[in-house]
Homo-oligomer: A and B are copies of this chain.
């Protein structure tokens, strides 16, 4: 089956508190976004790779490609204001592929095993969403207080979220909803049961300034 990966790098870097969008931060010999692209290219060098970026960042991305002599072929698409619109723009470029992975550009440590597991399961059932269980106790904020939730019932959701093409394209025919924090929630709203598979713990989302410390540490130990 022909595979495609949409890598969404729409972040404005606001939560990181700096001027540089977090996907553009260096991590060893590449930027975070380049590492994320490499993971999928490693898995299947024939996979079509679509990178969705805010229009105003495309120039910066092109100069980074020059600077780092980054040679993995990919299409660049201008994204929208919300992640939902960015994925939608990416899906329009996925024309002939039967399985589509949607991945956060700021998850550079997804393992080959996780990618393989997600594609295999999505080919079989239509959808595969990777997760890990938290090691911490979990509480949920209610109106005036927090309540405890059994840790064994909690799933921390990662990407790549992988789907059969017709399923996810159909689901994205809907309008934007603030509840859509990921692609699983869009598929769910279209009536599909969310199918979870194990992810890998190093597959963190580099979101806040402190995450960079952990990301550099994981990179230094595992990828250098």
CB A30 to nearest CB in B, in angstroms, measures 18
Contacting A202 at CB < 8 Å: which of B148, B184, B213? B213
Residues of chain A in range 135-168 having any CB-CB distance to chain B below 8 Å: 135-141, 145-146, 148-158
Contacting A146 at CB < 8 Å: which of B150, B194, B204? B194
As a 0/1 sequence over residues 208 to 224 of chain A, the CB contacts with chain B under 8 angstroms (1 = contact) are 10110110111111100
Report if A158-B136 is in contact (Cβ < 8 Å); known contacts: A201-B211, A217-B221.
Answer: yes
* Bound complex: CA A155 to CA B149 (Å): 10
Interface of A, secondary structure class, is mixed
Instruction: Report copies per complex.
Output: 2
Instruction: Give the B-binding residues of A (Cβ under 8 A).
Output: 131, 134-141, 145-146, 148-158, 179, 181-182, 184-185, 188, 193-194, 196, 200-202, 204-205, 207-208, 210-211, 213-214, 216-222
A131-B139, A134-B134, A214-B217 given; 19 more Cβ-contact pairs under 8 Å: A135-B205, A135-B207, A136-B156, A138-B154, A138-B156, A138-B157, A139-B154, A139-B155, A140-B149, A140-B153, A146-B155, A148-B181, A148-B188, A150-B179, A151-B181, A201-B210, A216-B221, A217-B217, A220-B221
